[in-house]
Amino acid sequence: MATAAKRPKQVAVGGSPAEDGSADALSGFLDWCETVGLELSPKVYVSKEGTVSDYGLLAREDLQIGEVLFTIPRAVLLSQHTTSIRSLLEKDQASLESQSGWVPLLLALLHEYTASNSHWRPYFSLWPDFSSMDHPMFWPEEERMRLLQGTGILEAVDKDLANIQLEYTSIILPFMESHLDLFDPKLHTPELYQRLVAFVMAYRRWFWRSHFSVPSEVARRPLAVTDPSFQEPLDEEDEDEKEPNPPMMVPMADILNHVANHNANLEYSLECLKMVTTQPIGKGQEIFNTYGQMANWQLLHMYGFAEPYPGNTDDTADIQMVTVRRAALQGASTEAERQLVSEQWDFLCQLEMVGEEGAFVIGWEEVLTEEELSMTLKVLCMAAEEFKEFKEHEGWEEDTEDEESFTLSNETIPRLKASWKKLLHDSALLTLQSYSSDLKAEQDLLNDKVAYGKLSRREQQALQVRYGQKRILHQLLELAS
Ligand code: SAM
């Protein structure tokens, strides 16, 4: 491994020290890494040049699959268990419980970020004021409404902002006021707190229990959307509870940017964490981690960026569950039929297949919530007699259905019953109507490089989110027609 003395410092920042002081900050951070035993392979370097966004990791030479790029001792991680105020957090544990579960880490960050003698000072120096973070939660409301309508981000941000305010006033502030030797509410303001929430969102991982990053409509997603790179894997016995270990910051691992087609992955062991290549990487190429299988709307909501079309193979579009009910009601022509749809919906709620705030998640190749969606289509398409019988058996059928009838993929959707396809088609159509612009207009804008280049960064990111979602919904329209 390279030592600080051997490392050519200007190369570490791409050969051109930046004027903003980031070269010094990076140099200080790399020296600190060395002091704390974080080993960086000489085959890679951190730079702001040649990356998709600010800092990133690049290959100094060709890399094979399975190469260890760096090793992080566990003592380097910043969490509620490693911060210098850990005993205080532990003592006051009961009063720090919150719906998000983020409060202890955020208090640790508020303290470490502003303490001049913090062990993690060189780490924080990389982001002097978090000014580059541009999550939609920082956009003016008017801009959010104009650019993100229909994407699911508006609702997620509204929940985040409400929860940030609630947790700050009801937990953080009282805690700080009873520890004025450590905290100063004039310095540890709600604005700083919000920046740190965004920092945790973007530089850590998905946190399953969180209301900050798990809006209700995604709470039904399969666990595949959790972030394997920044989420400490669960102990085997915890797995059923689906609640991960507390969040933590992982210096150096969080330097890596994300793409769906990533080429490295974070591996966990008892003593340390290792970033390991998962694809061959050529000299000079950027090394990408995965933050999980993230749709563009999740990337924009939690990380402040979207992958340009067609890069994000993990992109998805949501169809609100209530939209399928609306489509079914729309197709009912008599009062009796409308009554039947209402009863069928209530039954689906009892089966916990649908909920007022839930969404069906549609991917490029398949429906990610196929059990819920196929049961919904099935029940909402039943005639009164059939439904009565089905209900009497509490949703169980004696003759096992053809397995395929529960698979909802690009291959199987065209073969579904006509009534199912119609309901799916109408639901996709209603969802498309919730956006303020149509696919064609956005396609033209994306194809027109000059016009696209004139858009603000926010407009470009929002356009990528909307376009991907609409393409997926249009594909569904075709499959179900
Ligand atoms: N580039 C970051 C930096 O300089 O601090 C390090 C990665 S940090 C874990 C995550 C942030 O990096 C995101 O919030 C986003 O701003 C940026 N990012 C990551 N992947 C990206 C990508 N593919 N395109 C654009 N920005 C990306």
Which ligand 1 atom lies nearest to the CA of residue 55? Answer: 4
Within-domain flag for 352: yes
Assign residue 336 the CATH number of its domain. 3.90.1420.10
pLDDT of the chain, 481 residues: tens digit per residue: 333 333 333 333 333 334 567 889 999 999 999 999 999 999 999 999 999 999 999 999 999 999 999 999 999 999 999 999 999 999 999 999 998 889 999 999 999 999 999 999 999 999 988 888 999 999 999 999 999 999 999 999 999 999 999 999 999 999 999 999 999 999 999 999 999 999 999 998 543 333 343 333 333 333 222 333 444 554 444 444 455 567 899 999 999 999 999 999 999 998 999 999 999 999 999 999 999 999 999 999 999 999 999 999 999 999 999 999 999 999 999 999 999 999 999 999 999 999 999 999 999 999 999 999 999 999 999 999 999 999 998 766 655 555 445 789 999 999 999 999 999 999 999 999 999 888 999 999 999 999 999 999 999 999 999 999 999 999 999 999 9
304 in ligand 1 pocket by Cβ < 6 Å? Answer: yes
- Can you give the pLDDT at residue 211? 39
- Can you give the pLDDT at residue 393? 84
55 in ligand 1 pocket by Cβ < 6 Å? Answer: yes
Pocket test for ligand 1, best of 229, 305, 465 (most atoms within 8 A of CB): 305
Within-domain flag for 430: yes
Within-domain flag for 261: no
- Can you give the pLDDT at residue 99? 86
Q: Give distance in angstroms: CA of 52 to centre of ligand 1.
A: 8
Among residues 183, 213, 188, 209, which one has the least CA distance to residue 198? 213
- Can you give the pLDDT at residue 129? 87
Q: Which residue has the tokens 């819920």?
A: 372
User: Under a CB-based contact definition with an 8 Å cutoff, are residues 96 and 171 in contact?
Assistant: yes
Q: Give distance in angstroms: CA of 252 to centre of ligand 1.
A: 13
177 in ligand 1 pocket by Cβ < 6 Å? Answer: no
Within-domain flag for 182: yes
Residues 341 and 303 in one domain: no
Residues 362 and 473 in one domain: yes
Which protein residue's CA is at the shortest distance from atom 26 of ligand 1? 53
Of 307, 341, 374, the last residue of a domain is 307
Residues 322 and 218 in one domain: no
What is the count of structural domains for the chain? 2
Q: How far lies 230's CA from each of 135, 204, 266, in Å?
A: 19, 5, 8
CA-based diameter of the chain, in Å?
81
202 in ligand 1 pocket by Cβ < 6 Å? Answer: yes
How far is it, in rounded angstroms, from Cα 251 to Cα 203? 9
Residues 430 and 458 in one domain: yes
DSSP state of 352: T
Q: Which residue has the tokens 């000014």?
A: 131
Residues 83 and 215 in one domain: yes
User: Under a CB-based contact definition with an 8 Å cutoff, are residues 40 and 118 in contact?
Assistant: no
Of 287, 307, 327, the last residue of a domain is 307
Which ligand 1 atom lies nearest to the CA of residue 202? Answer: 14
Residues 156 and 302 in one domain: yes
User: Under a CB-based contact definition with an 8 Å cutoff, are residues 317 and 431 in contact?
Assistant: yes
Within-domain flag for 346: yes
Residues paired with residue 56 on neighbouring β-strands, in sequence order = 47
340, two tokens: 């039947």
Residues 302 and 353 in one domain: no
Residues 467 and 325 in one domain: yes
Within-domain flag for 98: yes
Within-domain flag for 343: yes
CB atoms within 10 A of CB 400: 6
Residues 301 and 361 in one domain: no
Q: Give distance in angstroms: CA of 53 to centre of ligand 1.
A: 6
Residues 189 and 128 in one domain: yes
303 in ligand 1 pocket by Cβ < 6 Å? Answer: yes
Which protein residue's CA is at the shortest distance from atom 2 of ligand 1? 55
- AA letter at 288: F
Q: Give distance in angstroms: CA of 414 to centre of ligand 1.
A: 39
Q: Give distance in angstroms: CA of 127 to centre of ligand 1.
A: 12
Of 307, 338, 353, the last residue of a domain is 307
Q: Where in the sequence is the domain holding 177, given as residue range(s)? A: 79-249+295-307
Assign residue 116 the CATH number of its domain. 3.90.1410.10
Which three-class secondary structure string do you get for 414-441?
Answer: HHCCHHHHHHHHHHHHHHHHCCCCCHHH
- Can you give the pLDDT at residue 19? 54
Q: Give distance in angstroms: CA of 70 to centre of ligand 1.
A: 19
Residues paired with residue 363 on neighbouring β-strands, in sequence order = 316
258 in ligand 1 pocket by Cβ < 6 Å? Answer: yes
**Which residues lie closer than 8 Å to 113 by C-beta, 6 or more apart?**
124, 192, 196
- Can you give the pLDDT at residue 226? 31
For 9, the enclosing helix (H) or strand (E) is helix 9-12
Residues 153 and 192 in one domain: yes
Within-domain flag for 274: no
Residues 329 and 366 in one domain: yes
